[in-house]
Amino acid sequence: MEWLVNLFTGSGVAHSVFIVAVVIAIGLGLNRIKFGSVSLGVTWILFVGIVAGHFGFLLDATTSHFVKEFGLILFIYSIGLEVGPGFFSSFRKGGVTLNMLAAGIVLLGCCTAYGIHLITGTDLISMIGVLSGAVTNTPGMGAAQQTFYDMTGQTNTTIAQGYAVAYPLGVVGIILSIIVLKRIFRVNFDNERRIMMERNKENAEQLEAVTLEVHNDSVCGHTIREIQELFGRKCVITRVLHEQTHDIELAESNTTLGMGDKIFLVAAPLEIEALTLLIGPRIDMNMAEWDAIEANNLTAERFVITNPAINGKRLGDLKLRQTFNVTISRISRAGVDLIAEPHLLLQLGDRVVVVGKPKSIEKISRLMGNSVKRLEEPNLAAIFLGIALGVVLGSLPIFIPNVPVPVKLGLAGGPLIVSILISKFGPQLKLVTYTTSSANKMIRQIGITLFLASVGIGAGDGFIDTIMNGGYWWILYGFLITVIPCLIIGVVARMKCKLSYFTIAGLISGAMTDPPALAYSNEICGNNQASVAYSTVYPLTMFLRVVTAQILVLMAL
């Protein structure tokens, strides 16, 4: 039985793996417990870890640090892969506003912490640790410790103790703030999803396929290329039904339009509105009618790009019209329809609609790959290459004027930025970055569970002693630092900026750099809006958290 005792109380690899696995298993088992209609989800793992740490089931420092950081990297990196393709477009539409609101949460948190220091007389160095725990920001706590050591040559344990005491209720406080905002504004998820879909349409994210009839004399006699260059509208014309001959033709750049001709095109709603004024009215002629006319001539099929040779190539470089006599009318990527423009870079996993003759369509099927099974194979090389580059970026020192020590993005901020960039621009470098939804979720869940288990076990050692020796006030201070900024900015975001609840949940989670809150937000929202908002504000927020922690240390010395 000695081997079993060593498994529980030893210090080897088997002991560490066993303790982490048990903590995760019990925490996930408690996930079914709800308080009213609210469940803490994976956050249960954190509290189970604290209990395990309190009773002496500890990991050695090296193993604990590795498990925590590697788990966080996996979680953050998977988020970047998911939201990367739409990150830059989302930043253009509302990223400046989101980052300003997130910066407001950071500033309010620092002001709250400093105010508590002035009112209660609590040591500012200790309050910096409480602040880092309240906003669940480990890099900020680490940066504060390093700055204190660089300035004094000594180590201050109260920073880490304040962090450990405030962290658990910080996680709860962030989630509680999200719940309270839902109650304040009486959020109905069905209405939020409907509003979100309407806004997507307004932003022209979805494309429409319509039929227009040529009624403009200035269009007649001109080729499709001339018309597109003249009007400067983004659209793809796939078929033309000539009024004079009643023949249907696969649209080419040199196809000439005549009065009464019917054209089938794909474009964004706002573009279609303009094209109806320039070309002619929209008529009620759906796909079934086009299919009936071209039954023996043209057909339309949808394929999935699974051929790695196409990954990263421009659509125009494939010369599909010249080689196969077919046209791609639209491309769907990550649920978003894209205009099939010649300069568009194709990626693995794209779904394309091809129009042409049946024999040509068969050839296109072989070119595209169209093998869903091939997409299920994980592209681990690109994932670990991205993680390696992310660690390099996160470790890069950034020098700021009048700050005595350089700041870093850390092992969370670096991989997040790289994952966003590599998922967006990787195909240009011939990197296969496509990951199935199930594989992405598996990486994400493994990462967050490892992170929470390690943090909980580490915080449990001496947790009760710290609380009993006056640290219970730190719990209250940390809770105030957590909820006051979240609720104030949450109200401003909803009432002033008119943001959706899904976006606000992601904004708060990102501004507090809190993966458990993001996991909770994703779980209740049922879409990726929270993840998009989280990733939009996370890089700037992480930078601000690290910088402000160091500035506060300098103020305290």
What is the β-pairing status of strands 282-283 and 208-213? antiparallel
pLDDT band, very low/low/confident/very high, at 294 (cuts 50, 70, 90): low
Closest CA to 216 of 269, 264, 275, 267: 275
Residues 304-334 have pLDDT tens digits of 887 777 777 788 787 777 677 777 877 877 5
Q: Confidence band (pLDDT; 50, 70, 90) for 101? A: very high
Edge-to-edge strand ranges of the sheet holding 336-339? 299-304, 351-356, 327-333, 336-339
Rg (C-alpha) for the chain, rounded Å, is 28
End-to-end CA distance of the chain: 54
Say how far apart CA 393 and CA 388 lie, in whole Å.
9
Using 50, 70 and 90 to split pLDDT, how confident is the model at 205?
very low
**Rounded distance, CA 245 to CA 390, Å?**
61
Tell me the per-residue pLDDT of 385-441, one tens digit each, with 9 for 90 and over: 889 998 898 888 878 776 666 767 777 678 878 888 887 777 667 676 677 767 778
pLDDT exceeds 90 at position 482: yes
How high is the pLDDT of residue 404? 64
For residues 251-276, give the mean pLDDT. 82
Residue 86: per-residue pLDDT: 59
Measuring CA to CA, which residue among 272, 245, 278 is closest to residue 261? 245
Show Cβ contacts of residue 51 under 8 Å, excluding neighbours closer than 6 positions. Answer: 460
Out of 37-41, 219-223, 408-412, pick the least confident. 37-41
Q: pTM of the full predicted structure?
A: 0.64
pLDDT of residue 112 exceeding 90, the answer is: yes
Least confident of 26-30, 192-196, 528-532: 192-196
Residue 275 has pLDDT above 60, yes or no: yes
Minimum mean pLDDT among 36-45, 93-102, 360-369, 516-525: which range?
36-45
Q: pLDDT at position 405, please?
A: 65
The alpha-helical segments, DSSP class H, found in 319-430 are 320-324, 358-368, 372-375, 380-395, 410-425
| pLDDT tens by residue, 454-465 | 878 887 777 677
Residue 405: count other Cβ atoms within 10 Å of its Cβ: 17
Q: What is the pLDDT of residue 37?
A: 52
Which stretches within 268-309 are classed as H helix?
Answer: 269-278, 287-293
Give the pLDDT confidence score for residue 107 in this predicted structure.
Answer: 94
Asked whether 543 and 103 are in contact (CB, 8 A), the reply is no
Whether the pLDDT of residue 195 is over 70: the answer is no
Three-state DSSP class for residue 330: strand
Can you tell me the mean pLDDT for 200-221?
Answer: 72
Instruction: Measure the CA–CA gap between 372 and 350, rounded to whole angstroms.
Output: 11
443 falls in which pLDDT band (50, 70, 90)? Answer: confident
CA proximity to 245, closest of 300, 292, 299, 293: 293
Q: Which of 195, 201, 203, 202 is nearest to 503 (CA)?
A: 195
